Structure 1
């Protein structure tokens, strides 16, 4: 009997010890007080040196008459007041907005169509992805220089093809007319940038569960009904990101216009960034150019915030 009682006592003691271990409060994971600061210090230093410090210096420079060479004087807000009274600047703003409005929707639509073509793992889809994405990899500078050669009035491939199709007589000077140059640049940008949109949308499409499409197909939904009711709502964030990237890139357009038209003829194809470049490095007015740059940064930030607000998902 004493053995049985001892066994019961040992069992009760073991059970009590186990319960004590289970209900013991977890040991707090304490770290040295400055460990978090040390971990983020490299990234913080990078942001301060390469983002915040140049931005602060640009704000200070925008309040001076800073020339490219020589001394400068502090002028306060005179450069910003000059922005409001600069008709050439506002003309360039209007042209940039027009260009952005022309190219944004075609880039999204063409990118979506290309993503639909290559999103499956069928034979040859990898080759088509490479072909469609190749213009973006080549880059705007190379594409622009190639277009300079192909848009020549007498020897360019653009006129040769259009003459063969019977559209023109084959001697159109595309880059000597503001509207023709704008149209040609828009076509090049839509063709060259849609590959990036294709890759972004394709990644979102591949994340849509296949079972959802199969269930809708069994219920009799057509391809367009599945795209409209399933795919597009489920990749809404990806579409929003693609639109934001496209709009920001269009508002900051410079390379293609600098290589192809230099803003001409006259100032017909002069974008905002091209005008800032002219003020800073041609007219040597770095203070005024800095003020224009700060205004552009604020405008792009507001446009981006508005896009995120309009395109955000509803609960």
Structure 2
């Protein structure tokens, strides 16, 4: 069910939510958190809502989409409420703010937050320079950005280093979960030798490649080089050991080939993760991600092969 409320107020939105609850049953109860999505009033609105709906099947929540429109327009708040099949396992409130209201998203969000429930804020594309100091970000227990979706991904990642506050995370980091798991498990197999150095290769505009290199440098305390390649995302990771290298290579963006001395070659699933899967993973935790923090601050430890210029997208 979709209910449109043009030129409305937050009190009218709340009233409509109560009416829907009374007429349709407890559709607004049993939510574990409030997920606030902040974006512009463009095509990314529906894409973000779809990802949130998929994530809500594991984490039933109230989703509040704050879409800022033209600031030159007359002040107006248009709202839309989605429940039932149009909202996954959540209830979705879409707020479109125009004119002076476009800069007052926090004031529109506060009356709609679930009482006594954690708040998570997600910026699918352009995040503020300091998410924790953003008016909406200041309301949140967790703040999710995605440097890979920014116009200049590597520059956006560097901003996260200086702006980090407990509760911040980045989907560029979440995309590394499978890579980290495979590499860690490979080191648990014989010959149990220490890694002496490592090389991570990936696209020049891939923040995940930078983060994987930093994670290895931080946790193994060895020199790590970051090299550039054509294509998208991470191509390979090579861990040097005295008896031979551990190599994890993903040529097609789907299946990884793991090779190491004394072990048969293994094919492992390394499909590029969808945003909905990364968002679902991040909603599983509300505590600070200490490993992500250490990895962010370890970016300066990696040697970056600058043979190819950074590509903006």
TM-score normalised to the size of structure 2?
0.21
Structure with larger RCO (C-alpha < 8 A, sep 6+) = 1
Higher helix proportion: 1
Computing the radius of gyration from Cα coordinates, the structure with the larger value is 1
